[in-house]
Each structure stands twice: as structure tokens, then as C-alpha cells.
Amino acid sequence: MSKYRDIQLDIENTKRKLKNLSVSTNSKKNWLGHKSEICKKIDEMLLKGATKKEFILEIKLLKNERPEDRVSEHIYHLKDTIEGHGLTIIEPEDENGIYKFDYPTTSKKEELEDAFSTKNGKIKDTERKAMVSQRIGQNILRKELLKLYNNKCAMCDVDAFEVLRASHIIPWSEDKDIRLDPTNAILLCGLHDLAFDKGLITVNNDFTISLPNKPDGLRDVLNKFTRSKLRLPASKEYHPKTEYLQRHKDINSK
């Protein structure tokens, strides 16, 4: 739950707004407690839905110098379950797609439950709680890594925080004691995260990066924009532990 907001109340009030029902608010703040005109504008646009371009155009009218970043940051804040509002938002992959608040109807809920079904029936409550715990834990770790790595992929120059991930060196399932240890994770973009997770990329003890020999297509792409050495946090205290890097190699060489 957010340190600053009642997430459940924000969800219920957002659902009321989506149904055009009244919500009690402070005269200067909206139903989510936002006072900034930029934040309130984004919130209102999400109720009806808008494309990224439409958001940017509206924020430009409010004299903001970095409208695209401002929109992305606020949407992330709305979704954040730790220090934000824990709201569900549709984020399309297509740049012309619509961003909007999203809460499943009864039929969608049933579809989601079916997706979690197993051979023996519905997923157990303990498993569901474990999945939620993992998601929250990864979110906490990701926020820490974004600060440590200055919002940049450690293996390239990608700085769009929407595609940056907390990439575990020792997998989440392998060692519960170091799941939230920042020295057991590296901030990576989606491509580098996946390649690292599959053992196609390895990091040596001196933090140099070894790329795969095959497949040729992936190797050629990675060669074009992968750094020769890992970008590291300013403090050595948070550098990836070499013992974890070696274990990562061992796990993926099996």
C-alpha cells in the first residue's frame, strides 16, 4: 500500500469518476489528491482515454518544458503501488493507441481467473499471494535501481524508464535471501534483460560484457549498441557482486 495514499479509496473513487458519479474532493485538489494543473489534466484525460501525442500536446499548452517525460512519469506514479496510487492503466504498444484507466468487468475477471487455472482447478490463495508479493518486491527493487543507475540501462544508453527493468543476477526463485539486494540486480532495458536472463549475455568479474557468438542476428544487433563494460552505480557498495555474476554463469552453463 502507498505510503501517502489510500490505494483502495483511490481505486473506488476512480471507478466512480469513470461512471460520472460525484466524488468529494478538496477545492484545490482532484479526486486523487493532485494539485498540479499538469497532473490534474493527465488524470482527466485518462478517464476518457487519449493517445500519447494528445497528452503531450495538452501538457505543452501548460508551458511544461519536457511534456513527454512528464506524462510518462505521472502515469508511472499513478500505477505505482508503493508510493503512488496503485491504479490500473492500459498502456498500448502502438504510439497511436489509447491510454486510459482500466478496471475489468465481471466477464474480464472471469477471463483472468481462467488464465490462472491449473490442472487441479483454480490457483491457490497462497500462490496468488506469492505472485503479488513478487510483483511488489520487484517494484521496490526497480525504484532503487533507477536511482542507482541514473535511469539508464547498464549495458546501453537507453534511458526510457518505461522499458527499464530490475534484472536479477541470481533468479528470484533461486535464493529468497537476496531477492531485494541491489547487488544482485542490474538495471537493464528489455532486450538486454531478456538476453541476460537467458544467459546469452554474461558479465565478467571485471564488469566487462561478453556477447553471444550465436545466433548471428542477435549478436549483430547487440554488437551495435552494447557497451564493452557495465555502467556501474557511483558507490562501489552497490556494484553487482562478483560471486553472483559467477553463479549466474554457472546456472546458465548447465
Q: What is the pLDDT of residues 151-193, one digit of tens each?
A: 999 999 899 888 999 999 998 777 778 888 899 999 999 999 9
Q: What is the CA radius of gyration of the chain?
A: 21
Say if residues 176 and 136 touch (Cβ distance below 8 Å): no
Tell me, yes or no, whether 84 and 135 share the same domain: no
Tell me, yes or no, whether 12 and 51 share the same domain: yes
Question: Residue 234 has which C-alpha cell?
Answer: 557511483
Tell me, yes or no, whether 158 and 97 share the same domain: no
Q: Is residue 72 part of a domain?
A: yes
Phi, psi (deg, nearest 5) at residue 220:
-65, -40
CB atoms within 10 A of CB 153: 26
The percentage of the chain sitting over the pLDDT mark of 70, rounded to a whole number, equals 84
Does the pLDDT at position 44 exceed 90?
A: yes
Q: Identify the domain boundary among 72, 101, 130.
A: 101
Give the type of residue at 84.
G
Q: Is residue 110 part of a domain?
A: no
Find the domain containing 157 and state its range: 116-252
pLDDT averaged over every residue in the chain: 83
pLDDT for residue 156: 95
Q: Is residue 111 part of a domain?
A: no
Q: Where are the alpha helices (DSSP H) in the chain?
A: 7-18, 37-48, 52-61, 67-79, 106-115, 125-148, 190-197, 216-225, 242-252
Of the candidates 198, 188, 195, 249, which has an alpha carbon nearest to the alpha carbon of residue 218? 195
What whole-number distance in Å separates Cα of residue 229 and Cα of residue 225? 12
Reduced to 3 states, what is the DSSP secondary structure of residue 118?
Answer: strand
Any idea what DSSP says for residue 130? Answer: H
Q: Identify the domain boundary among 101, 131, 149.
A: 101
Say if residues 171 and 212 touch (Cβ distance below 8 Å): no
Chain centroid offset of residue 77 CA = 11
Residue 210: beta bridge partners?
Answer: 202
Query: For the chain, what is the domain count?
Result: 2
Q: Is residue 157 part of a domain?
A: yes
Q: Is residue 183 part of a domain?
A: yes
**pTM, 2 dp:** 0.51
Q: Identify the domain boundary among 43, 70, 101.
A: 101
